[in-house]
Amino acid sequence: MFGFGIPELIILLCMFVPFILWLVALVDIIRSDFTGNNKVIWLLIVLLVPLIGMILYFPIGRKQKIDKNLTAAMSVDGDKFCTACGKEIKARAEICPECGVSQQVASVGGNKSIATVTIVIVVGFGLVVGVGVLAAIAIPQFSAYRMKGYDSSALSDLRNAKTSIETFIANNGKLPNTLEETGMKPSLNVELYYEKSGDDRGYVIVSDHSKGDKMYLTTSETNEISWKYKKDENKQFIPL
């Protein structure tokens, strides 16, 4: 109904799924508790570098969340309270001496993990920026080279068509009715327009490539070739 084919749907899916996962990661960070300032760091990572941050958060960041059901409440003096019986215990105690329930102890290496992730993010961000800069330079250049190649193909076919016509005239003493009579076959995606004058004494040839941006013209009265941009339909041809 919307005119989408399979390639378009695949592209939309590839764009939609990462966006949903990014939202899930962002919501999960906001709703969860982390040790130290890890929550703020992960928020910054996922917001500033969405794709890389999202990819790293699920295998690394989620492991640094604090489970509210297992973590004992910390007291002001550094002690905490058992999650099961509420008995005050030492902050680093792993098992409540009163009821024997295991207590979650924050990992000392949490900040080291975040530091490592931060370094990876910075390096990854630098690589992404570098690749983006190179792409911004290379893609226009590549497109320009391709366009030049298309136009060169049309220009070459124009010259070959003129040579074929002149050879036909020399052998038969008259103009060909069509380019096919001369044996001339244009290159792929090149269009050749051949037209005789009303008195059958002259001709005009125009060529262009379907993917190029120029068109070329020559006549029986000159060996020169003129050109103009295809978008400038109302402008005159100028000498090449």
Do the bridges between strand 73-74 and strand 80-81 make them parallel or antiparallel, or are there none, so unpaired? antiparallel
**Residue 206 pLDDT greater than 90, yes or no:** yes
**Residue 75 pLDDT greater than 70, yes or no:** no
- Please name each of the domains of the chain with its CATH number: 1-67 (no CATH), 68-103 (no CATH), 151-239 (3.30.1300.70)
Average pLDDT, integer, range 143-149: 85
Measured distance CA(230)–CA(212) in Å, rounded: 8
Q: Which two tokens stand for residue 65?
A: 């969340």
Lowest mean pLDDT across 129-138, 152-161, 174-183: 129-138
Task: List own/partner pairs for 149-152 with CB under 8 A and 24 or more apart.
Answer: 150/189, 150/209, 150/211, 150/212, 150/213, 151/209, 151/212, 151/213, 151/214
**Token pair 């080279």 is at which residue?**
145
CB 167 within 8 A of CB 175: no
CB 90 within 8 A of CB 18: no
The backbone torsions φ and ψ at residue 145, rounded to the nearest 5 degrees and listed phi first, read -65, -40
**Residue 14 pLDDT greater than 80, yes or no:** no
Whole-number average pLDDT of the chain: 77
Exposed, middle or buried, 71 (CB in 10 Å: 0-12/13-18/19+)?
middle
pTM of the model: 0.48
Q: Tell me, what's the pLDDT at 73?
A: 45
Q: Which two tokens stand for residue 101?
A: 């329930």
Q: Which two tokens stand for residue 72?
A: 């004992």
Q: Write the single-letter amino acid at 169.
A: I
Q: Which two tokens stand for residue 68?
A: 């509210």
Starting from the edge strand earliest in sequence, which strands make up the sheet with 238-239, in order? Answer: 190-196, 203-209, 214-219, 226-229, 238-239
Facing residues of 81 across strands?
Answer: 73, 88
